[in-house]
Structure 1
Amino acid sequence: MARIDSRRARRMMRQLGMRMEEVPDVERVILQGREREIVVEGPVVTVIDLKGQKIFQVTGGRITERMLEKEIEIPEEDVQLVAQQAGVTPERARAALREAEGDLAKAILLLTTTKA
């Protein structure tokens, strides 16, 4: 396959309506989903403008990936119910509900089986 020199490649890209430009001074790129996050440290980011459509290309850098922790909202009524049923303080009930991801029955079981 024949190599194309960079000058000719730029000319061909211009003819196709494509422009490429490096984004300066990028320290990190974060891709955040509902359950996980991907972080690219020290990347090279290029914006490709193709007929009004912008495409971001991220290359290089150190990649780390981690699962996001779900923050569970626990209603006060649930805390009181679990505390009453398990015979523990509201603080212990709240901790058990967090561990059980909001599941009332599981939280009560956790507290009553560890208590005995």
Structure 2
Amino acid sequence: MFGGGGMNPRKMEQMMKQMGIDVTELDAEEVIIRTADEELVFGDAQVTRMDAQGQQTYQVVGSPESRAVGKGGDGGDAAIESGDDSGGEADEIPADDVEIVAQRAGVSTDAAREALEAEDGDLAAAISRLE
């Protein structure tokens, strides 16, 4: 990280604490990175969070499995089901997704929800529709 290849890990940790950098290992079960074209799924990822100067940075180490992103595919349904704790319909748009679209496109939550419904829950397509 700081080029201390042969440095004692304990010494490195002390130096980082002195600089106000806090490093935490997270016990992540899975990490998913979604792009417009694919999902990178890390099933065996080692995740480290670094807090420095009010910013949080995450480092993911592992070998991802690449999955194509498609409307109504397993990735989309899984995200909707895991984000919906109310026991409602699986097709319901998660409130978090509505907030993300509303903030990114600078519109009301009602407009964001309509765009997400029109785009079958696809965040990127909904934002593009509103811009």
TM-score tier, shorter chain, comes to 0.5 to 0.7
Quote the RMSD (CA, aligned, Å).
1.9
2:19 to 16, 19, 23: 16
User: Which residue is equivalent to 2:69?
Assistant: 68
Counterpart of 1:43 in structure 2 is: 45
Counterparts of 2:35 and 2:64, CA distance in 1: 15
The unaligned stretches of length 5 or more in structure 1 are: 72-116
Unpaired stretches in structure 2, ≥5 consecutive residues: 73-131
CA distance in 2, matches of 1:37, 1:21: 25
Percent of aligned pairs with the same amino acid = 30
CA-CA distance at 1:2 after TM superposition = 7.1
State the TM-score, normalizing by the size of structure 2.
Answer: 0.47
Paired position in structure 2 for 1:81 = none
Q: How many residue pairs were aligned?
A: 69
Structure with greater contact order relative to length (CA < 8 Å, sep ≥ 6): 1
Higher CA-based Rg: 1
Deviation sequence 1:49-106 (CA, Å, 0-9, x none): 111110011112x4111221246xxxxxxxxxxxxxxxxxxxxxxxxxxxxxxxxxxx
Structure number with the higher strand fraction is 1
Deviation at 1:42, TM superposition (A): 1.4
Normalised to the residue count of structure 1, the TM-score between the two structures is 0.53
Question: Who is 2:32 aligned against?
Answer: 30
